[in-house]
A and B are shown apart, each in its own frame.
Chain A
Amino acid sequence: MSLHRLRTLATDTGDALTDAAATLGRLAPDATAFPAGAPGRLGELAHALHTQLGSALAARAREAAAHGARFADAAAVLRLAAAGYADTDAEVRRRHQDGDT
């Protein structure tokens, strides 16, 4: 697989994870899914379950955002590597052609 193709995959994966992070960050269901208005310990439990789910979704969002950024960094490394080697290759080819003339 070429560096260019790999860079495209890294970019796409990074973008997908960044998009996922944005959605996951807004995904926590409202409290109507739980008997949050219940009195006493049942209400406390409903609140705790709601909080646990909200924390889990926030953690998923952070994981996706951080990993999206890592893939974006990898894509940047691949772009630099490909550009650097392409420049070197072009320079060698140019010098070789200059030497021929």
Chain B
Amino acid sequence: MDALDRLAPPAADLLARVDDTLVRCGAPPGHPVWPLLRRLRALPGEAVAALAVASPAPLDATGAVLRRFDEAYSHAYAALPAEVEGWRGVGAESFAAQWAALRAHLGEDLADRLRDTMSFVEAVERWVRDTRAALARTLAVVLTSAEAVAVRAAAVPTAPDASAASAVPSDEGPATGPVAPDVVRAAAGIAAHVLRTLVEAYDRGAALLDEWAPRLDEVRYRVPAQVSAAGFEATTEVTF
């Protein structure tokens, strides 16, 4: 259990009110939340709810399997002799070229790509963990803010035709009634705080996609050049 696991549940009601206020009342013109909303195309409450259930644990498991194969590739490569001994002649020369290419492809191309994939998994796992940690820090600030008190204390209209009912503070969940401008501003402030954290996380995640793409595609085997055909005078020597 991390900090987000602990803070997301108590923040859920507040963020639901924030989402609701944004949907019904918008935000003050020119408020910093507008570009953030346009950028992420998501409300803070629903985005936090989705992040709260994302767990990096499956990535840990994937990384562990890849590390096991990295070791297996290293051992297999180390066991293969660099040169073919006990067999001489033109057939042996041709095979030796093939062998060297097979060995190099395993020890260099395949092993490198496997390690890059492992590093990518670790980078994504770190991104999920860092995003959750950053969001938890933001929620800790938001939950104890004056804006949170203002939003919690206000009644939030829940029906499109909500109109004349008075804004009665309630702990029973959203009620009907108009929303005071300071509550709209407070909700927008909370939303901006949360969305700013999510935009930063988005930018780091998007950078991962671009950074790793060239190192993850399939690596091709380079067939060695054909060794020329033997003459009849060629000598063959074999150790069984």
Contact = CB atoms under 8 A, between A and B. Distances in A.
A56 interface: yes
B110 A64 contact: yes
A56 B239 contact: no
A36 to B, nearest CB: 7
B121 to A, nearest CB: 7
Contacts of B13: none
Interface string B81-96: 1001111000100010
A43 B54 CA distance: 11
A85 B240 contact: yes
A29 B61 contact: yes
Given A3-B238, A77-B95, A53 B202 contact: no
B54 A46 contact: yes
A100 interface: no
Contacts of A59: 113, 216-219
Interface residues of A, number: 55
B87 A81 contact: yes
A29 B47 contact: no
15 contacts: A1-B85, A3-B238, A16-B76, A27-B62, A28-B62, A35-B131, A39-B46, A39-B47, A42-B50, A53-B120, A59-B113, A70-B105, A77-B98, A85-B236, A85-B240
Given A27-B62, A35-B128, 10 more contacts: A3-B239, A33-B56, A42-B50, A42-B202, A43-B42, A52-B216, A53-B124, A60-B110, A63-B218, A67-B221
Interface of A: 1-4, 6, 9, 12-13, 16-17, 20, 23-24, 27-30, 32-43, 45-46, 48-49, 52-53, 55-57, 59-60, 62-64, 66-67, 70-71, 74, 77-78, 81-82, 85-86, 89
